[in-house]
Amino acid sequence: MSAESSRLTAGKPCLPPFSKEQQRFLLEGLLRNVSRSFYLTLRVLPKEIRRQISLAYLLARTSDTIADTKAVAKPNRIERLRTLADMISHFGGSVPAMISADSISDVGGGAASGATSEDQLLQRLPECLQLLASFVPEDRERTNRLLQIIISGQIFDLEKFPSESERDLIALTNDEELDRYTYMVAGCVGEFWTRMCLAHLPAMQNWNAEKMCELGVRFGKGLQLVNVLRDIPRDLRIGRCYLPVAQPQELLNPANYDAIRAEYDQWLDRAVEHLVAGWEYTMQIPASLWRLRLACIWPIWIGLKTIAQLRTGNPLDPAHRIKVSRGEVYRLMAHSFLIVRSDAALNRAFRKLHDPAACH
């Protein structure tokens, strides 16, 4: 138990009456403000699992906000993350614990101004934890397990990259470390998502849980690997190289891209392989669960579009961030609505995105 977590049960309980209006604000207004483009994916989910997955996202964004708070020294951020993990464990247990409001305020920073959506998220942490405590025990445990893994990934990130400057740039050690990292921050979400579907959607009862969890993990890893490969310039300039290369400083110069192009293409190929597994996962979802299909289709299609742009651009150039345009995203979403119930049409659309040259 961390030093701060020894104070978790001190003081008066922080569980005042929790209203439907508070839940609506958390899972609609606040969620929209902090999730940005992912909000549409969360809102399209079937209602049976929307609340649980949306809250898990809010708690993950809370821990991510703490991890990224530059105004707080990294050792203190790590301590706060460990305390948050303890709190989530208490609220996610079989019998949710009473925790002092002061302790939660300390973890969130205490002095958040409320000027940004992230400030509001930190201020609303007590309500997020209270909502977690209202879940059935099985959903609390699934959410707790997910957040423990995600927070461990964020702590790994802070400890692996102690500097926040390109002058002290560090790279991951090897492909295994990169694979572990993508699991901790995204692959575990695929497993969580799958187990929530199995628990709450009767149409999924014929799924092979072990196989689908494995595909779900690969789905999440693929999406995170795309993020890693797209965000190289930004990450390098805060001292982080998630690619296991011997000389990460050389990646600061876009002119050196040709020297790593072969390796970079291999990582892109791996991301595609993971997204193909994600597509296999998606096509196992019955057409009757069209909302769940859409929630899986959108990130895969956007991921494949991003990969296509990364193959033709220079991903080391900080002046030209590679990103699928909002208009293109909306066109993909509109097309998916028209064909979501047709396996044949969906597979044709996927093949066109997966290998555009093969479709001409």
DSSP 111-161: ---SSSHHHHHHHTHHHHHHHHHTS-HHHHHHHHHHHHHHHHHHHHHHHH-
Q: Is the pLDDT of residue 232 over 60?
A: yes
Tokens of 88: 């989530």
Residue identified by tokens 């997910």 is: 146
Q: What local confidence, expressed as pLDDT, does residue 44 receive?
A: 95
Which of these ranges, 79-93, 98-112, 316-330, has the smallest mean pLDDT? 98-112
User: Regarding predicted confidence, which is higher, 273 or 9?
Assistant: 273
CA distance 329 to 49: 24
Confidence check: pLDDT of 281 > 60: yes
Q: What is the pLDDT of residue 356?
A: 61
Q: Which residues pair with 241 in a beta bridge?
A: 171
Q: What average pLDDT does this structure show over 123-133?
A: 91
Average pLDDT estimate for 264-283: 97
pLDDT for residue 36:
74
pLDDT of residue 11 exceeding 70, the answer is no
Higher pLDDT, 301 or 95: 301
Q: Is the pLDDT of residue 112 over 60?
A: no
Distance CA(229)–CA(272), nearest Å, equals 12
For 240, which DSSP code?
Answer: E
Q: Which tokens sit at 260?
A: 């790593």
End-to-end CA distance of the chain: 59
Mean pLDDT of the 339-353 span? 97
User: pTM to 2 decimals?
Assistant: 0.90
**DSSP H or E segment with residue 171:** strand 170-171
Q: Is the pLDDT of residue 180 over 90?
A: yes
Domains and CATH numbers, the chain: 1-141 (no CATH), 161-351 (1.10.600.10)
- Chain mean pLDDT for the chain: 89
Q: If you average pLDDT over residues 28-51, what whole number do you get?
A: 90
Q: What is the spatial distance between Cα 264 and Cα 315, in angstroms, rounded to a whole number?
A: 9
Predicted pLDDT of residue 20: 80
Q: What gap in Å lies between CA 238 and CA 126, rounded to an integer?
A: 31
The larger pLDDT score, comparing residue 37 to residue 179, is at: 179
> Which own/partner contact pairs does 130-134 have at CB distance under 8 Å and 24+ positions apart?
130/14, 130/15, 130/18, 130/91, 131/18, 131/23, 131/26, 131/55, 132/55, 132/59, 132/88, 132/91, 132/92, 132/96, 133/15, 133/91, 133/96, 134/18
CA distance 180 to 242: 11
Does the pLDDT of residue 16 top 60, yes or no?
no
Point out the least confidently predicted range of 25-39, 260-274, 312-326, 328-342. Answer: 25-39
- pLDDT above 50 (res 322): yes
Mean pLDDT of 123-131: 90
Residue 141 has pLDDT above 90, yes or no: yes
